[in-house]
Structure 1
Amino acid sequence: MSLNPEASFPDFAYERPDLEKQEAAFRAVLAELTAADTINDAIASVEQIDSIRAGVATAYNICYIRYSIDTRDEFYAAEKKWFDENMPATEAWRMDYYRALMASPHRAALEEKFGSQLFATAELSLKTFEPALIEDLQAENKGYSEYTQLKGKAQIELDGETYTLSTIIPLCQAEDREVRKRANTAKWDWMGGNQETIEKIYDDLVKLRHGMAQKLGYENFVPLGYARMNRTDYGPAEIATFRNEVKRHIVPIAQKLYAQQAERIGVDRLHFYDVQFIFPDGNPKPSGKMSDTIDAARKLYDGLSPETGNFFRLLEDRQLMDLDAKEGKATGGYCTYVNDYGAPYIFSNFNGTSHDVDVLTHEFGHAFQVYSSRHQRPMEYNWPTYDAAEIHSMSMEFFAYPGVPDFFGEDADKYFYSHLASAIRFLPYGCAVDEFQHLVYENPDWTPAERNAAWKKLEAEYLPHLDYSDHPFLSQGTYWQSQLHLFGMPFYYIDYCLAQICAFQFWLKDREDHTSAWADYVNLCQAGGSKSFLGLVEMANLENPFKPGIMERIAGVVEERLRELE
C-alpha cells in the first residue's frame, strides 16, 4: 500500500495489517541482524525492523483515532477489537528483537550509534513479557476497551436534554448553584448506575494483571507495572518520598486555596458540585466560538517561535486535530503519532470551558515534541517515557501564557489564577491516584468495597476538603472510577506530578529569561526519548524533582504569585 506522506488525515490510507506477512518480514530481518558481519549491516537491520514495526503502529493509530472520534462506528469498532486481540502477539517480536540487540557482537558499536537508552529499555522490557501472557494481554485490552466504550456512549438526561460526559461539563460549572448541583448529580448518578459494571471491569483487570506478574516471577503487579512504564532510574521508594513531600508542602497550600474558594463563592463548605466553580461571577471561559480559540492559538504559536507557528499550520492544513465534543466520541484528550505519515494527532472534547485551552495547549506540547523528534532513531526515541513526555505538555501550558488575553479576553486574569491554582491543587489528587494503585496491586484480592474504602481514606489525607455527603454513590469512595488511566494505563499518573514540578521550573525560568528557557525546551523536545527521565531533566537544565527542598521552594513562589493574582 503506497502512502502519501503529505496527505490530510481524512485521506490517510487504512488497511488492516497482515501480521503473518509482517512477522515473516520481521523474522527475516532479525536473522540478518543476528548474522550481521559488520556494524553497518547491523544498523541497516535495526532501521528495517523500525520500518516494519512503524507500519503496524501506523495502522493501529489510524484505527484508534477514528474509533475514538466515533465509538459507534461499526467498522472501526470491529478493527479496534481485532487490534486488541492481535497486537499482543507483536510483543513477542519486540522481545526477540531486544534479545538480539543485547546478544549482538556489535552491541558496543550499536550502543555508540543509538545511545544507551535503547539497551536500558530493552533490558527492562524483557522483564515484562513472555508468550504465555498473550491471552492475558488480549483480555487486558478488551477490558480497557469496554470501559472506554461504556463512557463514550454515555447518555445523561437532564431537563429534557441529553448530554455526554463531556458536553455536560459546562452545566457542572454553572454560576447557579442549583443548576450545577443537578448537573453534577446527573453525571455522577450515571456513574452510579454503572457502578457494578465498572467495578467488575476493574476487578477483572486487577486480578488479570496480578496473574501476569506472578507468571513472570513477581510477587505482585507493582514491579511489573513500573517495568512496563520503562522507569529505569527510580522506583517505588523514590515515589513514596515524593508523595510525602506533596503531603508536607502542597496539601496545606491546596487546602488554603479551597478555603479561599469557599469564601469567595459564598459557601460554608465545598460540596462535590462546588469544587470546579472558582469565581462567584463564573469561571473563565474562552471568548467567542471554537473557531476564535483556534485563531487565538494560531496567533500565540506564530508569536512564540517560527517552529511552533509553522507546526500549528501543519496541524490545521492536514486536519490533524479533532477538537469538538459530540455524541459517540470517546471522553478525554490525547495526542498520538501516525508514524509513516510523520503526523502527530490531537484529540479533544471542546465544551466551552477553560479546559478547552488547557487541553489544546497541553496536547500541542506533546505534538510539538514528537514532531520535533520524529527523525530520532530507533523508533523507541520518537517518544520519551510518560513521565518525561508530560514535561513537554505541562510546560507548554505555561509557555502559552502570552496567548491568554486572546483566548479569554476580560477573563484573562481569572484564567491565570485558576490555571496556576489548579496546577497546585492537582498534585495531591495525582499522588492519591498513585498511592491508590500501589495499595490496589499490593492487595489484589480486595473486594470493590475495600478498594472504595481505601480511596476514601486517601481522600481524607490528600483531599480533606471534599464533601460527598449528599451523594450516595460518591460517599462510598468511588470518585476514582471516573479516572481513565486507572483502567488502561496502570501506574501512569504520578508522571503528571513529576512533570508538574519540572513545568513549574520552566515557568520560573521563562519569567526570568524567555530565550534561554525556550532554547532548553526545544532541546528537550528534539531529544525525544533518547535519554531516561532524569537524563532528560538534567539535559534541560532542570532540577531533579526528587531532590529535597525543591518542592518547598517552588510551592513558596507559586503561593506568592497566587496572592498577587488574588
Structure 2
Amino acid sequence: MIENKNNKLPKRKEIEQQYKWKLEDIYASNDEWEKDFVKVKELIPQMAQYKDKLADSSTTLLQALKLSDELSSLTERVFVYARMRRDEDNTNATYQALADRAKSLSIEVSGALSFITPEIISIPEQKLQEFLNKEPELEVYNHYINEILRQKKHVLSSNEEALLAATGEIAGAARDIFTMLNNADIKFPNIKNEKDEEVELTKGNFIHYMESGDRRVRQDAFKALYSSYIKQKNTLAASLNANVKKNIFYSRARKYPSALEASLDPDNVPKSVYDNLINTIHNHLHLMHRYVALRKKVLQLEELHMYDLYTPLVKEMNKHIYYKEALEIVEKALQPLGDDYIKALKMGFNEGWIDVYENEGKTGGAYSWGAYTTHPYVLLNYQGTMKDVFTLAHEMGHALHSYYTNKHQPYIYSQYKIFVAEVASTVNESLLMHHLLKNTKDQNEKAYLINHYLDEFRGTVFRQVMFAEFEKIIHEKAENGEALTPQLLSDIYHYLNVQYFGDQMFVDSEIDMEWSRIPHFYNSFYVYKYATGFAAATSLSRQILEEGQPAVDRYIGFLSSGDSDYPIEILRKAGVDLSTPQPIVDALKVFEEMLDQIEKLLL
C-alpha cells in the first residue's frame, strides 16, 4: 500500500494486513478474550479470602501478592486488547462494548485489591522483616513492600483513610468542571484563513493557524482563542483555585510540609530536584532570549509577538518519506544502541507491533502500549512527513523500554514511572536528529532539522519549566492564605512570560490568560517531568555517542529496570544524576550549540 494521498480516508478493511498490528498475538479471537474475561470474574472472589489475613503468616502474604499479580496482569491483558481493538475503529459497536466491559472489570478488580496496601502498612515492620527472611519467594516484593513502608508516616488511620477515599469524586470536581468547560462549552469565533475564507476556530486547529506563514491569520487565531477564555476568566480562576485548595487539603491531611512535596513523594523525588530545575533554567534564560532574537530577525519583524512563536523559521521539507524509508532511517539512526537493541527494533518493525496508517474511525495521534504478557504495540497515523519519522522513533523508544522491562522484571515492577517514561523515547529522537544532521548536505534541510530541535527544546524544557514555576508560585501563595483571583493569576503569568522570553518579545496581554487553558495544571506538579526527562535523554544520548559500549550497557540496564528502584536511582545507574543541576546544564549546552549552528545558517 502507498500512503493515502487523497482526502478520503480508507475503511479499516481496505488497509493491507502488513500495515496493521497483530492483536491476535494477545487473543486469537474475541472468544479467547471472553474466556479470560470470565476467568478474571472467577478470580476476583478468591482475593476476599486474604482480607484481614495478610498478617497471619509469610505464606499467606506471598499467596495474596501472587494472586494480586495474576489478577492484575490478566485484567491488563483483557483491557489492553479491548481498548486497542476499539482504537482501530471507534465506530465499531462490538469493540465499543468490549472496551466498556473491560473498563468496568478493571474498576471491579481495583476495588478487590484495595485492602492490600493498608493491611501491609498495619503489619509491624519487625514482623514484616521476619516474613521476608522466612519466605525466600517474598524477596522479589522487597522493594514493593519497602516503598509502602516509606510512605507509612503519611498514611492515616483506617477510618481517616476511608473518609479521604470517600472524597475522591468531590476531589475530581475542579478537573471535571474545567474539562467540560474547556472541551464542551467554550466556543471560539470564526476567523478568515489564508484564502480569506471564513473558518471555524477550534482547539484542534489552533496550532495549525499559529504555524501559518500569514501573520494576519496567526494574529486573528490568537486573539479569537483568548477572547473566549477571557470571557470565562472568573469561572476558570475558580476551578483552578479549587484544584489548588484540593492539593493543599490532601497534603496537610497526610502531614506533608507542602503540596509540592506531597506530589513529589510517590516518586521519592526530593524538592531540591524541582528547585534545581527552575534555578538552572533561570541562570540560562539568556539562551532563550537569544532564540527569541533569532526568531525576530529571521521573520524580519519590528516587533515579535506571542503569536509569532510557532510559525517555522524554515519551510518544512515537502519531500514525501515512504514508510519503508522511515523504517530504514530510524534503524540506521539507532545503530549506536547496539546489536541487541536493533534486533528487538526489527522485531517490532516486522512482526506486527505497529499499526501504521490512518483509517476511518481510527484513534488519532500516536502511542505505545501493550500488556505484560505480550510484546508492545505502537499506534501511528503515518502521513510521510519528517515529523512522522520522529514520531516513529519516539514511539519505538517507548515500545523497546517496555520490551526490555517486561523481559527482565516481574509483573510487580513492569509499570515504570512517568518520571522516566519520556527518557527512552527522547533518546531515540536525539539519536535520529544526530544521524540526520550528520548525513545531510542540504543546508536548508539542516536548518529545518535544527529549527525542529530548538522548537522541541523550547516547548519541552523552557515552556514546561515556566509552567512548573507558575504552579509552585500559586500553590505557595494559596498556602500562605492569598486568594487566587483572575487578576493575580494573570499578573503572575504575565511576569513569568516577560522573564522567560526577554525584552525582544512583545508579551501580548492575551497570553496572560494562557494559565486558564492548560489541562496539565489539573494534574499538578506533573509538567516538570517533561523537562527532566528531556535533559536526561540528551545526556544519555550524548554518552552513548561519545563512550560507546559502556554507555550502551548502562542504558540497556536502564531500559530493563522498570519500576524496580526509585526513578532517580535508576537514572543515576544509567549515568545521569538528576539530584544535581548538571544534566540540565548539559542539555542547555546542546541547545546553545544548535543555536550557534542555526545562527550561522540563517543570519
Q: TM-score range by the shorter chain?
A: 0.7 to 0.9
Q: Could you tell me which residue of structure 1 aligns to residue 169 of structure 2?
A: 138
List aligned pairs for 1:372-383, cutoff 5 A: 372-383=404-415
Q: What is the Cα deviation at residue 503 of structure 1?
A: 1.6
- The 3 A distance-change label for structure 1 pair 558 and 221 is closer
Partner of 1:212: 250
Q: How many residues align?
A: 547
* Counterpart Cα distance in 2 of 1:65 and 1:204: 35
Deviation at 1:60, TM superposition (A): 5.2
Which of 28, 45, 53 is matched with 2:49 structurally?
A: 28
The equivalent residue for 1:122 is 148
Q: Closer, same or farther in 2 for the Cα pair 1:47/1:190, shift >3 Å?
A: farther
1:353 and 1:314 map into 2 onto residues whose CA distance is 21
Deviation at 1:462, TM superposition (A): 2.8
Q: Which segment drifts farther, 56-65 or 270-279?
A: 56-65
For 2:558, the equivalent position in structure 1 comes to 524
- Distance in 2 between residues matched to 1:312 and 1:162, nearest whole Å: 43
1:509 aligns with 2:530: no
Match of 1:418 among 438, 451, 454: 451
For structure 1, which segment, 214-223 or 528-537, has the greater mean C-alpha deviation from structure 2 after superposition? 214-223
Q: Does the C-alpha gap of structure 1 residues 462 and 355 become closer, same or farther in structure 2, counting only changes over 3 Å?
A: farther
After TM superposition, give the deviation of residue 309 of structure 1 in Å.
5.7
Contact preservation (8 Å) 1:180, 1:273:
yes
Q: CA deviation at 1:449?
A: 3.7
Check if 1:260 corresponds to 2:294: yes
**CA displacement at 1:502 relative to structure 2:** 1.7
CA contact (8 A) 1:166 1:351 kept: no
Give yes or no for contact 1:296–1:403 (8 Å, CA) kept in 2.
Answer: no
Q: 1:55 to 1:354 in 2, by over 3 A?
A: same
> Structure 1 residues 172 and 524 mapped into 2: Cα distance closer, same or farther (>3 Å)?
same
| Superposed displacement of residue 253, structure 1 | 1.0
1:385 equivalenced with 2:417 (yes/no) = yes
Say yes or no: does 1:171 pair with 2:197: no
2:15 counterpart residue number: none
Q: Deviations over 1:500-540 (max 9, x none)?
A: 22222123223324444433322210111212123212221
Q: Which amino acid aligns with 2:132?
A: R
| 2:66 pairs with 1:47 | yes
Instruction: Please say which of residues 528-537 and 85-94 is displaced more in the overlay.
Output: 85-94
Q: Which amino acid aligns with 1:231?
A: D
Question: Are residues 437 and 412 of structure 1, via their aligned partners in 2, closer, same or farther at CA, if it must alter by over 3 Å?
Answer: same
* 1:525/1:319 CA distance change after superposition, 3 Å: closer
Equivalents in 2 of 1:462, 1:184: separation in Å?
A: 20
Q: What TM-score do the two structures reach when normalised by structure 2? A: 0.74
The answer to whether 1:483 aligns with 2:511 is no
In structure 2, the residue corresponding to 1:267 is in which secondary structure?
coil
CA distance in 2 between counterparts of 1:531 and 1:358 reads: 30
Deviations 1:69-124 (A, max 9, x none): 89999957977996898787467335236437865332356698327532343234
* Gap change, CA 1:220 and 1:501, over 3 Å in 2: closer
Structure 2 counterparts to residues 224-303 of structure 1, below 5 A: 224-227=262-265, 230-232=266-268, 234-248=269-283, 250-279=284-313, 281-282=314-315, 284-285=316-317, 287-288=319-320, 292=322, 295-297=325-327, 299-301=329-331
The correspondence for 1:99, drawn from 121, 125, 129, is: 121
Counterpart residue identity of residue 479, structure 1: E
User: Residues 460-507 of structure 1: CA distance to partner in whole angstroms, max 9, x if unpaired?
Assistant: 33333685755x6x34x22234433222x3211211222222222123
SS at match of 1:273: helix
The alignment partner of 2:308 has SS state of coil
**Shift in alpha-carbon separation, 1:531–1:421, aligned structure 2, 3 A:** same
Distance in 2 between residues matched to 1:418 and 1:397, nearest whole Å: 14
Task: In structure 2, give the amino acid aligned to 1:388.
Answer: V
- Could you say what the CA RMSD is over the residues aligned between the two structures, in angstroms? 4.5
Query: Given the two structures, how large is their TM-score scaled by the length of structure 1?
Result: 0.78
Does 2:507 match 1:461?
A: no
Question: 1:305-344, CA deviations, whole angstroms, 9 ceiling, x for partnerless residues?
Answer: 56456446547754655786999967x765444345x354
1:265-344 correspondence runs (5 A): 265-279=299-313, 281-282=314-315, 284-285=316-317, 287-288=319-320, 292=322, 295-297=325-327, 299-301=329-331, 304=335, 305=339, 307-308=341-342, 310-311=344-345, 314=348, 318=352, 321=355, 334-340=367-373, 342-344=374-376
- 2:368 and 2:180 map into 1 onto residues whose CA distance is 19
Q: Distance in 1 between matches of 2:222 and 2:562?
A: 40
Q: Distance in 2 between matches of 1:33 and 1:5?
A: 36
Establish whether residue 564 from structure 1 lines up as the match of residue 597 from structure 2: yes
2:397 corresponds to? 365
Partner of 2:484: 446
Structure-2 change in CA distance of 1:237 and 1:47 (3 Å): same
Report how far residue 435 of structure 1 moved. 2.0
Measure the CA separation in 1 of the matches of 2:467 and 2:220.
27
* Structure-1 separation of matches of 2:32 and 2:513: 40
Taking a change above 3 Å as real, the CA distance of residues 166 and 89 of structure 1, as seen in their structure-2 partners, is same
Query: Distance in 2 between the 1:192 and 1:131 partners?
Result: 40
Pair 1:113-2:111 in alignment:
no
Residue 31 of structure 1: CA displacement? 6.7
Indicate conservation of the 8 Å contact 2:497/2:507, yes or no: no
CA distance in 2, matches of 1:312, 1:188: 46
The residue type paired with residue 121 of structure 1 is E
For residues 272 and 346 of structure 1, do their structure 2 counterparts lie closer, same or farther at Cα, with a shift above 3 Å needed? farther
> Which SS does the other structure have where 2:48 is aligned?
helix
List per-residue Cα deviations over 1:145-176 (Å, max 9, x = no partner): 66557666688654344565344533321223
Q: Equivalent residue of 2:218, what SS?
A: helix
CA distance in 2, matches of 1:564, 1:82: 54
Contact 1:26–1:49 under 8 Å retained in 2 = yes
- More moved, 89-98 vs 414-423: 89-98
User: Deviation of residue 275 (structure 1)?
Assistant: 0.8
Q: Which amino acid aligns with 2:404?
A: S
Contact 2:212 2:218 survives alignment (8 Å): yes
Name 2:432's counterpart in structure 1. Answer: 400
| C-alpha distance 469-498 of structure 1, shift in aligned 2 (>3 A) | closer
Deviation at 1:555, TM superposition (A): 3.1
CA–CA distance in structure 2, aligned partners of residues 95 and 555 of structure 1: 41
Kept in 1: contact 2:40–2:74 (CA 8 A): no
Q: Following TM superposition, by how much is the alpha carbon of 1:140 offset from its aligned partner in structure 2, in angstroms?
A: 4.5
Alpha-carbon contact 1:111-1:119 (below 8 Å) kept:
no
Pairwise CA distance, 1:403: 6.0
Aligned partner letter, 1:417: I
The structure that has the greater radius of gyration is: 2
CA distance in 1, matches of 2:73, 2:300: 55
Classify 1:318/1:288 alpha carbon distance in 2 versus 1 (closer, same or farther; 3 Å): same
Instruction: Work out whether residues 298 and 309 of structure 1, in 8 Å CA contact, stay in contact via their aligned partners in 2.
Output: no
2:218 corresponds in structure 1 to: 180
